[in-house]
Chains A and B, each alone.
Chain A
Amino acid sequence: MYHWDFAALWQFRNVIAVGFGYTLAYTVACVLLGLLLGLLVGLGRLSTNPFISGPLRAYVEVFRCTPVLVQLVWFYYALPVLVGIEMSAGTSALLALALYGGAFYSEIIRGGIVSIDVGQSEAGCALGMTRFQLMRRVILPQAFKRMTPPLVSQSIMQLKNTSLLSVLAVPDLLYQGQIIAHETYRPLEIYTMVAVIYFLILLPATIWAKRLENRLTAQQGA
């Protein structure tokens, strides 16, 4: 019978706090960079110029169709060989996760824009709006409502994906857990706690996302 001892973890609270901080910081950075990239790529893919939309499509497919762990490793170990620039583990990880998230965000954003009835564009054009005004005042405000639930889900995925940072020795929550496990030989308590921390962040987030989705659906049907 295994003897559980969570009390032994208390002395490592600072180590855990550092990991927690890294996980949150990387999540925020990856979500923001990913959203920005996703917005630009999503809008760019709507271009009628194939020299703009073509390469962007290629980017999206490459990042959607390869595992994110492979991307992380590639950016850290392979990319420097190719371009001759040394990148820290943190930088490569941020780059890979933002690009990976951006690919998915861009598809959500593009889909949201395309889903808006063509009559809305025509009404805006008929008023004399330029394409930019049309996007800003008519299309995007409506599209963002539809995009919000999938964008929130994707952001939750981004948080989970930060656990892969541990592979590159970035001291995130999981990596810090591994360090403690090596010192204490108590992987059961440590990894359970790590899982519980992720769960405690993500459960409220998913409940909030679900509520938001219901509220937006109700608004549209009103």
Chain B
Amino acid sequence: MSHATNEVMIEIKNLKKAFGEHVVLKDISLQVNKGSVVAMIGPSGSGKSTLLRCINLLTVPEHGSIRVGAQDFTFGSKASKPLKDRELAKFRTNTGMVFQHFNLFPHMTALENVMEGMLTVLRKPKAEARAYALELLQKVGLSDRADIYPQRLSGGQKQRVAIARALAMRPGVMLFDEATSALDPELVGEVLNVIRSLAADGMTMILVTHEIAFAREVADQVIFMRDGVVVEAGPPSQVIDNPQEAATQSFLSRFNG
């Protein structure tokens, strides 16, 4: 059910990031085709979340280049200028991000959360924003929760609102940063279902996840990271079912109990 095309949507070259002395990403290069679903797996501290956060520049790398769609940034060269607030903001409208801890705006209802980006950033008329927000809430199965504040929603519902909020910007790429890790086990399924339906729609997605079975099912490319490098990358049938590297084998053995 892969919708991957030959058009390169995301291109990352020689990315390096360190927090002080601690090097988190060591020369990462990566391409993601439009319509493909990439799952990034690996032990904690492997750099996979940092890599994901570099793609929308929530974390700014020291070196390398990042292109998402038609926009690109280069870091660390003499040519690179200090990042401008406005340029950063514009770059980020092209990616939607879903966080582990949802990060919904608590002072807004579910509907208002979904409308916020359209109103403030895209400056859409209120009626139009409202109509599309309701459509998205319906898509994630929460039409009846539109006027509820986040405090009254379950974890799974919060995360589905967060997905709708990100989709409202009509991003070219969706980034999921351990979107199900903070959920009670019985609520994981409803969020995965939404991600599954996005994959079926042909959305380009990068998921940082610990759900290996889900990665195998939904991803057409799996990236295994450890210690800031990509150890192994390829289709799930290769990386998950038939890993070549010892580090990948050892990591995956913990999930095949």
Contacts and interface: CB of A to CB of B under 8 A. Distances in A.
Interface of A: 117, 119-120, 122-123, 125-131, 133, 137-138, 141-142, 145, 222
B85 A119 contact: no
A203 B237 CA distance: 73
Contacts of A145: 107
B106 A142 contact: yes
5 contacts: A123-B97, A125-B89, A127-B117, A128-B93, A129-B89
A124 to B, nearest CB: 8
A127 B96 CA distance: 7
Given A119-B99, A133-B121, A128 B90 contact: yes
A191 B186 CA distance: 69
Given A123-B97, A127-B93, A127-B165, 17 more contacts: A119-B99, A123-B103, A123-B104, A123-B165, A125-B92, A126-B58, A127-B92, A127-B116, A127-B169, A128-B169, A129-B117, A129-B121, A130-B85, A130-B86, A131-B85, A137-B120, A222-B152
B209 interface: no
Contacts of B204: none
Contacts of A128: 89-90, 92-93, 117, 121, 169
Residue of A122, A126, A145 ringed by the most chain B CB atoms within 10 A: A126
A222 B101 contact: no
A222 to B, nearest CB: 6
Contact of B99 (A123, A129, A133, A141): A123
B138 interface: no
A129 B92 CA distance: 8
A212 to B, nearest CB: 16
Interface string B86-117: 10111011011101010111110000000011
B93 to A, nearest CB: 3
A50 to B, nearest CB: 16
Contacts of B85: 130-131
A117 B169 CA distance: 23
A113 to B, nearest CB: 14
Nearest to B96: A126
B84 to A, nearest CB: 10
B166 interface: yes
Contacts of A133: 89, 120-121
B97 A129 contact: no
Nearest to B105: A138
B173 to A, nearest CB: 12
Residue of B104, B107, B166 ringed by the most chain A CB atoms within 10 A: B107
Contacts of A127: 92-93, 116-117, 120-121, 165-166, 169
Interface in B120-151: 120-121, 149, 151
Contacts of A130: 85-86, 89
B206 to A, nearest CB: 13
A126 B92 contact: yes
A122 B169 CA distance: 15
B56 interface: yes
B79 to A, nearest CB: 24
Nearest to A119: B103
